[in-house]
Structure 1
């Protein structure tokens, strides 16, 4: 059985849980990171002192988006296009998600961990930066229903996880009709419903 190491309220752990469900894989999640700390055995396989990491038989993989690519390639190739151009189109949005995550950090920490809202200057600045990035995502989704193209794929999981947080924070958001329609499509997926049910704190 697939083992997912990581605390459940980590965005990156949620991404991997969602990916495992989309790949039709049963998994066991084991606590690691945050208040749970890191064991020497874990660090021997993942020296980054970060979560998540997976163990799939004898294979250990860390870095959440690398894990998603591995899971699709090994267990659900339809979720990661074989055509190099189509694959690159999805991959670029998976990597872009880390830029977005940096922009959202202050809004997330301020609202979820600090009890603030969009009236806080630091939160407001973070939200403004996020809005500009989300406008880029909206433009992309005006042309295809998913970041992978015409069908759902692993490229939708990273930003789908962070967009769920974006729509949950007490901040002002511009109208982003294509992102909102995309989120409506993602909300129908069992994997999304699993991670959406996890409290942020």
Structure 2
């Protein structure tokens, strides 16, 4: 059986779970990381020397780490010719650029505030870090808001692999208890994604 190693409330694990749902792939998920620990064991370090989640372990024992790379592998292996891995390389590239943007822009902007608010004890939180992070996140998500005001999905008219990491981050941004600008296109995008069973099951489960 395919194994996904990582706690369910990790955004990067959510991406892989959602991708498997879109592709109709069976899997079992194992709690690791955060309060579950287990990332410092020799066995886990042999799978991922970064000691982060997720790790994908295929039924034959082959494994890999890095969430967006896992998405590309799954789509290329099990979704050729589908919306997640179209034959047109330019269509794949259009989705791919947004996957990278999620890591380099969205995560870099919102991540510090999320870590402070959800992974840091209240007495150790730095309100200056939170404020700067949320201000930057508003700028970054305004760019996405303007992009999605012109088209329903990040790569165009159809759902693509790029929507998986972006959709996870949009959910987090829209559901954190923070002040944010009014972004109607992001809200509509979230509503479209909410109709997808994999998103509803693995992403839209609360921010923790």
Post-superposition offset of 1:66: 0.6
1:102 corresponds to 2:108 = yes
Structure 2 portions without partners, runs of 5+: none
Looking at structure 1, the residues matched to 167 and 26 of structure 2 have their Cα atoms a distance apart, in angstroms, of 21
RMSD: 1.9
Does the Cα contact within 8 Å between 1:124 and 1:171 map onto a contact in 2? no
State the partner residue of 1:145.
152
TM-score, length-scaled by structure 2: 0.87
Q: Deviations over 1:158-184 (max 9, x none)?
A: 011111111111211112222221111
Q: Which runs of 4+ in 1 moved over 4 A?
A: none
Does the Cα contact within 8 Å between 1:135 and 1:176 map onto a contact in 2? yes
- Residues 112, 42 of structure 1: alpha-carbon distance in 2 compared, 3 angstrom cutoff: closer
Match of 2:131 among 80, 104, 124: 124
SS in 2 for 1:167: helix
State the partner residue of 1:88.
93
State the partner residue of 1:37.
38
State the partner residue of 1:51.
53
State the partner residue of 1:64.
67
Looking at structure 1, the residues matched to 135 and 188 of structure 2 have their Cα atoms a distance apart, in angstroms, of 21
Match of 1:163 among 165, 170, 178: 170
SS in 2 for 1:178: helix
Post-superposition offset of 1:142: 2.5
State the partner residue of 2:77.
74
Post-superposition offset of 1:192: 1.0
- Farther-moved stretch of structure 1 (30-39 vs 9-18): 30-39
TM-score, length-scaled by structure 1: 0.90
Looking at structure 1, the residues matched to 130 and 46 of structure 2 have their Cα atoms a distance apart, in angstroms, of 37
Structure 1 portions without partners, runs of 5+: none
- Farther-moved stretch of structure 1 (24-33 vs 39-48): 39-48
